Amino acid sequence: MKEQFVKWLNRILIFDVFLVIAGFLWFAVAVIGESTGIPLGFKLFQRLWLPLFNPAISILISWGQGVGCGVWGVGFYRFSGGQLPNFQGKST
């Protein structure tokens, strides 16, 4: 059951990554079109910003922070002597 949940969670998060990338590309093309006077969906992008892209970006950032804190908290990275590195990247 846990493996199935993780599998579907990973699929959803990968879809979220591609949605954010596609949204960025759409935004870039739409801004260029808007500046040249060619309608390429900038108004539609603005209407979809709050209900679609804002939550997608928030989920992506939260996922990254959760993974980062989880990996650091669990001690996934093993350092010499079990100590965390200092800011210069050397173990103290």
Domain membership of residue 89 (yes or no) is no
* Statement: residue 42 has pLDDT above 70: yes
Crossing angle of helices 2-36 and 54-74, rounded to 10°:
140
Give residue 41's pLDDT.
95
Domain total of the chain: 1
User: Stretch 19-31: mean pLDDT, rounded?
Assistant: 97
Domain membership of residue 29 (yes or no) is yes
Domain membership of residue 87 (yes or no) is no
Domain membership of residue 90 (yes or no) is no
Cα–Cα nearest to 64, from 3, 23, 16: 16
How many whole angstroms separate alpha carbon 86 and alpha carbon 90? 6
Structure tokens given for 55: 């939550």
Cα–Cα nearest to 43, from 58, 56, 59, 26: 26
Enclosing domain of residue 21: 2-82
pLDDT tens-digit readout, 47-86: 999 999 999 999 999 998 888 777 666 655 555 555 555 6
Give residue 6's pLDDT.
84
